[in-house]
Chains A and B, each alone.
Chain A
Amino acid sequence: MKIYQGKQEWFELSDGEGRYRFPPLKRAEYELAIHRDGFTDRFYKVEVSDFDDPKELLVELMPQGVVAGKVVDGLGQPIERAEIQALRGEQIVGSQQTNDLGEYRLSGLDAGAYRIRASYRGGRESEFDSTPITTASVTKPGEFSVKPGAIIAGIDFELHPVRPATIHGIIHTESGEPVDNARLWTDKLGNAGSVDHGKFVISDVSPGTYVISARTSDNNPRTGSVKVDVQGDDVNGVDLTLRPMPRIEGLIQMDGSEIPDLSALLVMFQPANPMEIARSSEFGRPDRSGAFIAGLNPGEYVVHVQRLRDRFAVKRIILDGVSVASLKVKVDSQAVTRKLVIVLDPKIQP
């Protein structure tokens, strides 16, 4: 248990009967946090009035849930060291490896709905190991509702590990010109290597369907995606066409102050939904006068100006001549150029 106020904090462990006692504290507001393995964390606010009539604070902790099962291969043999993941949306909130019997118990799950994925990557363990890598991954269709303290058993998987494949492809513009210096990523693997003279190679790809995306970061940003189905064999000749993407022409202005060198600043466009992984943050790098260009995939972004230190703050932002509330900008799929003005205000120094 922890009680804290600002940087001051006190810790105590409850005893065998669950009782706890903090040393005498000054009358003030505090935060109280409780953690016990196997239970959902709880947080309380201790009010000043709680000191008027001191009494024992009973803390009730909710037991977490467990999902259990077994992983076997096509011959019914247990698969050891398969990774079991609990997912909320695309976020991994718990993971566990199978034991030598292929069994797993994924515990520590707060009440809620989860999808369960089993994946395996075996084979080569060192550079001297000649055993080929084999991989497999299966996600159970549908969600499992985990209630407090519940044990959902029998969530079994059958995996068929195969050798991972390699994807070869080319990236070009609509007019067929090969594209270099593009950033390449996939929806499941994240960054997926580099592009060389318009050609790309993505290695170690397990069976599944992937969306391969690429974009350039020059003054004429382009982007494109292609869906690829991998069934075990190498995939050749993937054609990825990059098209002009929505573009922000930006300018940083100072309100009522002399313009310093603005090239030290960085403008970040952060996806408004923090759980979203399909889009990453994009950046605009201003020149000395504060002008910058950024390419944005369609969606909503929050605008941050980084490296302002404590001297300046963002006063307002103006998109196509209209003031925008909450520092949020929305970009649709039309590949048009939009004008963004970020107005900074010198902070009043204490």
Chain B
Amino acid sequence: MKQINWIAALQQTAALPALKESGITTIRIGVEGYSVRAARLFSSEEAAVIAAACQNLGLRWEIVFNRLWMEEELPEMEAKLKQIQSWNPDGIVYMDPAVFMLAKVLGIQDRLIYAPDTLTTNSQDIQLMLDMGVGRVVLAAEITLEEILQIAEKVEGSRLELQIHGRQVMAYSRRPLVSNYLQMIHKTVEDLPHQRGLYLIEATRSGKMPILEEAAGAAVYMESTLCSFAQIRQLAASGIGNFALDSLFSCDQQLIEARQAYAAVLGGADPMEMQAQLTERWPQMNYGSGYYAMKTNLTKEDAA
């Protein structure tokens, strides 16, 4: 089995040694003004400290640079990408093709990690991006395990990334969906951009879907937290080289325990047992299997 890169989103700098100890090999950080939907937004100064700490611990580090940029923001984007270049991260997670265009000019396109949420659902589009020089592509969430394995057969696995743990985003809007609604009903929520406790429940259902609102817009997340213990052996055997664990709606400790559990499963432990243990520790996470076994190609007529 090839070497796997285990990526963790970071919430607390103090957690770095424990993350390293658990088997995490890459730390992914969000930075204020650079990132959206990151587990936490650090200041530029904090980012520099984290980068140095990662280097000392032998961890790689990556920055989330995943805003969609409007026309007048392009000079800001260019300045920030140059700043990122000076920080010398091992990876730059991006969504907007404009970032690729400028990264190419700067000669750092091989550090780019293309993560457009939904657009990477097939091997041909993924291969195209890799052929253009992008370093890595993150697979879309809404594909099945079977489709993931098909893609892994056709594309170099070391350049594929899959989110295996954490809440998966369902929708991304430029609109301030929460504050618009609160304004309509004459209510307020303090410090809205940092609220992680907001969620939606569809009027006829019971599932809780976290919703996040930041300056750049709002995002809605799935009602379950993706957990891949049952699939991790197949995924690891497929050659996919990069597995990401996200903690936007949890914490570093939960990721540490999850990473240890993945190691145990790959070492022969029972996946269901490990999931039961993690569920007992973190019952509010509502662990689920995402789209692995959920093919979403029904029509209205099928659904009826």
Decide whether A and B assemble into one complex. no
A residues at B contact (CB < 8 Å) = none
B-to-A contact residues, CB < 8 Å = none
